[in-house]
Structure 1
Amino acid sequence: MSSTPRLILASNSPRRRQLLTELGLSYEIRLREVDETYPPHLHRAEVAEFLAAHKAEAYRPDLAPDEVLLTADTIVCLDDDVLNKPADEAEARAMLTRLQGRAHDVYTGVCLLHGDGRRTVFSDRTQVHFRALSPSEIDFYVRTYQPLDKAGAYGAQDWIGMVAVTRLEGSYFNVMGLPVHRVWEELQKFGVG
């Protein structure tokens, strides 16, 4: 067994890859399809944590003793509604129409699973305030940035983040898809970082 565990990222998100790279971490990417449905009784942060842990369990049988797996899931919550990735452009426009002019919460759940069986699951919350947007601004964003791969139909690092986000309470990186401050702390407990 090597002295430093190898980090495995189980995510197709270019934003999570970027954040781990900018942290100076070496990692390997592993991907597989995992069902992302969750029990309807779960509420907000519980959904993000459940999905992150559920994804990790799908990789457990193939995890080597010297590996640490990182899975994550980001959700956008408006009131008590979870806004996942939109199915199409019409749903993206509808989500952004609901979000504009209001504050909403972004939760990212993270699971770290060590090949020796140790596991930690946590989440982080950021409140995001959007200014009112015109239908033409929403249409421009959806057509130009194609946000179908983003929870809540937007990326804070995109054009809409520059023109619509008026205030954040919490971690900006959490809104991008990974609460790196907390991930860094927890990875060090597993000997990574």
Structure 2
Amino acid sequence: MTSGMWTLPNALTGLRLLAVPVFGAVLVVSGDTPRGRWIALALFIAASLTDVADGWLARHRDQCTDFGALLDPIADKALIATALVCMSARGLVPWWATVLILAREAAVTVLRLAVLHHGVIPASRGGKAKTAAQTTLIVLALAAPGWTEVLTAVVVTTVLWTVVTGLDYGVKAAALTRARPPSPQPSAAPGRQVPR
């Protein structure tokens, strides 16, 4: 992991974070209109693509940094949380789904910090699949609003998978605390990828 801050991957992550308030403003101001939803959808997809691009560039250009490892999950969670809260306020996603998803994200973040002196919980494929499911939910709700059978299935599947992966992190955290004694200083993450 390099120590430099000003890299192209970090710039893309920063742009994603800056896009969050713009995206939220569009949903708040005109999220009840088809035009507003399509603009919000375009912003969300563009921001999501930067998430794919910054990780790929960081690995292939050997530009994984501590700053990027810190900022990347913050940008991801800010984008997802803003989308879900604003869409629930507009009636596009049920509030119970938003509350459960955000509660899981908060719990996993607290858990990761609590066991940091024992070690870092590595990223899992389940966590990446969870992010993909949440992204699909948001895209579908913006592109085809309405409580359809398809959206219902996607919401239920996303919430269940989000909760299951959260429980999985709990199991991993418990195993980590049993396997490793507390270290004097937290170990650095092996790369830019962090648990989601």
Q: TM-score, normalised by structure 2?
A: 0.28
User: Which structure's relative contact order is higher, taking Cα pairs within 8 Å and 6+ residues apart?
Assistant: 2
Which of the pair is proportionally richer in strand?
1
